[in-house]
Amino acid sequence: MSKLPVIAIDGPAASGKGTIARRVAAAFGFAHLDTGTLYRAVALAVLRKGGDPSNPADADAAVRALDLSLLEDPALRAQTTSVAASKVAAIQSVRDELLAFQRGFAAHPPGGRGAVLDGRDIGTVICPNADAKLFVTATPEVRAHRRFLEHKANGTLITEAEVLADIRSRDARDSGREAAPLKQATDAHLLDTTHLDIEAATERALSIVRAALRT
Ligand code: DC
């Protein structure tokens, strides 16, 4: 069987990459993997055991015993889990342990038609030969505003300034780490969503992917 199409979508928190990835996957009938949930699940397992997400021994134990049912846990989206996820994600052995699962998903996606993976290192490390690569970004202020509105809608008590501070510190950790830092692959298409709503951003993503797949 010839290789199935793989779409890599990377970018910082609240850039819109998750929604874009879901919509691209739905439009092409491909399976979607939000790889951030893997790091979040490891982080949640560490926190629930009372461990330290920055401690490689605690994070390694959690990733080796990872229970995939945690991927559905609503606590994955909590602010404390987000912060802990960016800490476990900086540990190389955690990334190594999650690599095979992600590559396996890309090579053998559920449904057997193609795969869309979104994260921080999909185009650079996990799927460097992806058929289409997008790097989705927006200014920290715009991303913080979007995330703040989500928190408000969910009834989470947090100020926009706190969300911006969190986004800046996660960006610094995700981009500044040695292990697979967040960066645009040289052959990725840049999609800046600062002045685009999600509909317009999705349209641009779809036209990039269509051109890459020549459909
Ligand atoms: O996309 P997200 O906010 O759910 O990701 C949670 C954390 O996991 C984030 O701080 C960066 C990290 N991450 C990563 O390092 N590599 C990925 N492929 C996906 C997420």
How much is the mean pLDDT over the chain? 95
Q: Is the CB of 147 under 6 A from ligand 1?
A: no
Atom 1 in ligand 1: residue holding the nearest Cα: 36
CB atoms within 10 A of CB 60: 18
pLDDT digits (tens, 9 = 90+) for 143-199: 999 999 998 998 888 999 999 999 999 899 889 989 989 999 999 999 999 999 999
pTM summary value: 0.95
Q: Is the CB of 105 under 6 A from ligand 1?
A: no
| The pLDDT of residue 29 is above 90 | yes
Rounding to the nearest 10 degrees, give the CA dihedral for residues 78, 181, 168, 139.
-110
Q: Please state the domain extents for the chain.
A: 6-214
Measured in angstroms, how far is the CA atom of residue 206 from the centroid of ligand 1? 23
Cα separation of 158 and 128, whole Å?
38
For the chain, give the percent of residues with pLDDT over 70. 99
Say which CATH topology domain 6-214 has.
Rossmann fold (3.40.50)
Measured in angstroms, how far is the CA atom of residue 1 from the centroid of ligand 1? 32
